[in-house]
Each structure stands twice: as structure tokens, then as C-alpha cells.
């Protein structure tokens, strides 16, 4: 089942590997409706390209993706750039043991520090250090440049439409 314009404004002359995969499955298994591959295989392939681009951007700043996730959660929290380990767990979707390990590693690098919680004598807060802030800010700027280049083939209206469509697909996974 070949995909055409379908009213979405896609140029029929633009073909990619997914078109070849869909055509081959359509030829080999005409009994199957392979149209979901037209969307989700492209999303999967784009996710792989994005992952590679992000890892490269983070590496230029001496960070791994997991480190960027933690540092950016702290940066987004706003001044004084502090969160509890529990809040970091919620934002990064990892286990408490994994988060403890990540905080330890970032603290060893001087990118975060642990502080006693003013609200709970047994609790701690994780705070972004000035060095961590510089590192995450640089990585974020680099990431946005990389992501902009990945979207360069789309105009503003196409980007907005794609963002809306993807939001519709992703929102049910993010619901509590």
C-alpha cells in the first residue's frame, strides 16, 4: 500500500526507507493493512536519529543523556535550582536506586550538591551547582541547534501541525 499525498501536503516524489518497507510488506502480505507502519516506523526511525543527535550534543558538553535529564530537571525548577530526589524520580522516570547513583555521580563531578531539607530533618535536596548550570545551559543551547537542523525541512505551520498530531498520540501515555 503506497502512500501518496493523502491531503497532507507531502510531495509524492519524496520517498524514504519506510516507503520501501511498506511496499515490500504490501507485496508479500497483501492481506495485512500495513498503513500503521507509514507513521510509526517513521516515528521510530526519527527517534533513533534524534537519540544519536542528542547524545552527540550532550557529549560535546561532557554529559550523557541521563545526566542531562537530571541537570535539566533541576534547571527547569528555577531558582534556587533545587529538587528533592523524589521530584527528580517523578521527572526522570527511574528507580530510587538509579537516581541515588546518578546524584552520586553528578556530585562527584561537581555538577550537583546535596543539601539538608529545611522541611524534613531526614530529607535532602539536590541543588544544581554553578558548574552544573553552565554545563546544562551549554548542552541545552547545542541541543536546540541540533533539533532545529532536524526540523529544517518543515515550515512553521507544518511544525505546529506535527506537534499537535504527536501530542494527540503521546498524551494518553503521559496521563496519570
Instruction: Provide the pLDDT for residue 162.
Output: 95
Instruction: Provide the pLDDT for residue 5.
Output: 43
Query: Which residue's C-alpha cell is 511544525?
Result: 159
Rounded to two decimals, what is the model's pTM? 0.80
Instruction: Provide the pLDDT for residue 11.
Output: 54
CA distance 22 to 3: 9
Instruction: Provide the pLDDT for residue 150.
Output: 92
Instruction: Provide the pLDDT for residue 2.
Output: 43
Residues in the chain with pLDDT < 50? 1-8
Instruction: Provide the pLDDT for residue 10.
Output: 55
Q: Rounded to 5 degrees, what angle do the CA atoms 161, 166, 170 make?
A: 155
Domain ranges for the chain:
14-59, 63-176
Q: Does domain 63-176 fall into CATH 3.40.50.1820? A: no
> H or E element: which one contains 125?
strand 124-128
Instruction: Provide the pLDDT for residue 119.
Output: 82
Amino acid at each position: 500500500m503506497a502512500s501518496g499525498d493523502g491531503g497532507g501536503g507531502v510531495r509524492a516524489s519524496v520517498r524514504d526507507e519506510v516507503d520501501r518497507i511498506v511496499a515490500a510488506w504490501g507485496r508479500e502480505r497483501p492481506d495485512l493493512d500495513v498503513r500503521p507502519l507509514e507513521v510509526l516506523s517513521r516515528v521510530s526511525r526519527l527517534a533513533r536519529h534524534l537519540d544519536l543527535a542528542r547524545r552527540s550534543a550532550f557529549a560535546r558538553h561532557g554529559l550523557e543523556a541521563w545526566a542531562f535529564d537530571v541537570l535539566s530537571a533541576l534547571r527547569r525548577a528555577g531558582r534556587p535550582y533545587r529538587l528533592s530526589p523524589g521530584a527528580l524520580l517523578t521527572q526522570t522516570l527511574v528507580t530510587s536506586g538509579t537516581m541515588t547513583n546518578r546524584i552520586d555521580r553528578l556530585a562527584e563531578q561537581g555538577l550537583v550538591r546535596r543539601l539538608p531539607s529545611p522541611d524534613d530533618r531526614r530529607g535532602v535536596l539536590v541543588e544544581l551547582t554553578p558548574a552544573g548550570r553552565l554545563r546544562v545551559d551549554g548542552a541545552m543551547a547545542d541541543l536546540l541547534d541540533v533539533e532545529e537542523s532536524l526540523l529544517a525541512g518543515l515550515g512553521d505551520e507544518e511544525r505546529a501541525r506535527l506537534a499537535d498530531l504527536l501530542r494527540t498520540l503521546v498524551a494518553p501515555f503521559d496521563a496519570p
